[in-house]
Amino acid sequence: MVDADQTFVIVGGGLAGAKAAETLREEGFSGRVILVCDERDRPYERPPLSKGYLLGKEERDTVFAHEPAWYARHDVELHLGQTVDAIDREAKTVHYGDDGTHVRYDKLLLATGAEPRRLDIPGTDLAGVHHLRRLSHAERLKGVLAHLGRDNGHLVIAGAGWIGLEVAAAAREYGAEVTVVEPSATPLHHVLGPELGELFAELHSAHGVRFHFGARLTEIVGQDGVVLAARTDDGEEHLCHDVLAAIGAAPRVALAEAAGLELADRADGGGIAVDERLRTSDPDIYAAGDVAAFPHGLFDARLRVEHWANALNGGPAAARAMLGRDVVYDRVPYFFSDQYDLGMEYSGWAPPGSYDEVVIRGDAAKREFIAFWLKEGRVLAGMNVNVWDVTDPIQRLIRSRAHVDTHALADPHVPLDTLSA
């Protein structure tokens, strides 16, 4: 039974928003929970959109965070297809919908996520130019890949980040020709640095993906709305049928910015600035998931983490903080990816410039190993590739801040836990 004295509003029905609603009920909150999302689909998980679902191996029904009846059963008022376009912090209301609905909140959670960055070049409005963020995008792309595969068609992908590479793998499985255009010299440069990026270049090349490194798209050439070619800034032209722009995502901060909430520095990834309790500069407004930039003591930096586990854990942490529980959100960042027969997990945070050494434990040539990024002998991050059940010891090692013996770290016979002791 809902007690209407208190109303908590959640803006954004991604995983962070859905998990926050779930946690509010689990923690016994008996007030109104209103979840507003501009998408027409109820909250779902995005990782399958570039993997199992895109490949036709997972059904549409499997991606949703909750079954349809869950919302009514838990008295969560779900408003889909509605964009929240204003927050009035003085009146403590949010405004959404064509009919001008105003809802008063006691606490507000912004879980507005991120949106794909757009290529700012001629030709991006052609029908064969795609992005991948939403279920509807994945549905469309799935049809495109199947078509390209059947007709020996060619897909150009702008960006060799996680989504670009996962779609490249899926496209090759469909039988399409794939060229990835990437300004850096290796894939995933901003996350893995050059040492491990090379491994992914080899993996994809072995599966027939062509890379065009050190270049950016400058124009997508088309005729009668159809893509014909993609041109790059070094004067090359790739004849192709479709283009995927996979050049990263931008946090959806417009609502927070218009409401005067503090934002994180764009140079550090932007996002809504929150404290370790995920509270914004307004004590009644919280932010979680891709959009939130939180201070992380372990890395001495404000992080904005665009990964599934951060939505899965950050939403619930924000919900508990909204209920006044003692919360310190300091999880070690974690993500995973699957490409062909390579599965990996990455824990920590070690962008290029933050580490001074990479140590490999295992057999990199066989793609069965753990890579560690270190700074002054301390492990900042670890990535296990086709080696499983090591996330906990890797995270303990990162958390311990222990100075490790790099020979022992590289030796698979030395248990990882003995290094953080």
Ligand X SMILES: Cc1cc2nc3c(=O)[nH]c(=O)nc-3n(C[C@H](O)[C@H](O)[C@H](O)COP(=O)(O)OP(=O)(O)OC[C@H]3O[C@@H](n4cnc5c(N)ncnc54)[C@H](O)[C@@H]3O)c2cc1C
When asked if residue 64 is in the footprint of ligand X (CB under 6 A), the reply is: no
Asked if 52 and 60 touch (Cβ cutoff 8 Å), the reply is no
Full strand arrangement of the beta sheet holding 378-385: 334-339, 342-348, 378-385, 368-375, 357-363
Of 7-15, 264-272, 350-358, 384-392, the window that binds ligand X (rule: CB under 6 A) is 7-15
For the CB of residue 116, give the shortest distance to ligand X in the complex, in Å: 8
Residue 307 sits in the site that holds ligand X (CB under 6 A): yes
Among 7, 23, 50, 395, binds ligand X (CB under 6 A): 50
39 is an interface residue for ligand X by CB under 6 A: yes
**In contact, 197 and 204? CB cutoff 8 Å:** no
Contact status: 13 vs ligand X (CB under 6 A): yes
Q: According to CB under 6 A, which one of 7, 23, 337, 384 is a site residue for ligand X?
A: 337
Query: How many residues in the shown chain lie near ligand X by CB under 6 A?
Result: 36
316 binds ligand X (CB under 6 A): no
Q: How far is the CB of 38 from ligand X (least distance, A)?
A: 4
Question: How far, in Å, CA of 290 to CA of 298, rounded?
Answer: 19
Sign of CA dihedral 10, 44, 164, 203: positive
Determine whether 223 is exposed, middle or buried from the number of CB atoms within 10 Å of its CB (0-12, 13-18, 19+): exposed
Residue 33 token pair: 């929970």
Site for ligand X contains 114 (CB under 6 A): yes
Q: Does residue 285 bind ligand X (CB under 6 A)?
A: no
* 306 lies in the site for ligand X, by CB under 6 A: yes
* Member of 290, 367, 387, 393 binding ligand X (CB under 6 A): 290
Is 87 a residue that touches ligand X (CB under 6 A)?
A: no
β-pairing, 226-232 vs 272-273, is unpaired
C-beta closer to ligand X: residue 16 or 327: 16
Among 9, 10, 12, 374, binds ligand X (CB under 6 A): 12
Backbone angles phi, psi at 272, to 5 degrees: -85, 125
Determine if 380 is a binding residue for ligand X (CB under 6 A). Answer: no
| Position 339 contacts ligand X (CB under 6 A) | no
- What's the rounded Cα separation, in Å, for the pair 343 and 265? 33
Q: Does residue 347 touch ligand X according to CB under 6 A? A: no
Q: Which of 7, 9, 10, 16 binds ligand X (CB under 6 A)?
A: 16
Are 215 and 179 in contact by the 8 Å Cβ rule? The answer is no
Determine if residue 285 is left, alpha or beta; phi over 0 gives left, psi from -120 to 50 gives alpha, anything else beta. Answer: beta
With contacts defined by CB under 6 A, name the span among 213-221, 308-316, 348-356, 397-405 that binds ligand X: 308-316
Contact between 184 and ligand X per CB under 6 A: no
CB of 286 to ligand X, least distance (A): 13
* Residue 15 binds ligand X, judged by CB under 6 A: yes
> What residues numbered 232-271 form the site for ligand X, per CB under 6 A?
252, 255
Find the shortest distance in angstroms from Cβ 46 to ligand X.
3
If one asks whether residue 9 binds ligand X (CB under 6 A), the answer comes out as no
| Contacting range for ligand X; rule: CB under 6 A; set: 64-72, 149-157, 330-338, 393-401 | 330-338
Q: Contact region for ligand X (CB under 6 A) — 64-72, 333-341, 373-381, 387-395?
A: 333-341
The window from 30-38, 212-220, 364-372, 391-399 that contacts ligand X (CB under 6 A) reads: 30-38
Residue 47 within binding range of ligand X, rule CB under 6 A: yes
Site string for ligand X, 123-162 (x = CB under 6 A): ---------xx-----------------------------
The footprint of ligand X (CB under 6 A) covers 11-17, 36-39, 46-47, 49-50, 83-84, 111-114, 132-133, 163, 252, 255, 289-290, 306-309, 311, 335-337
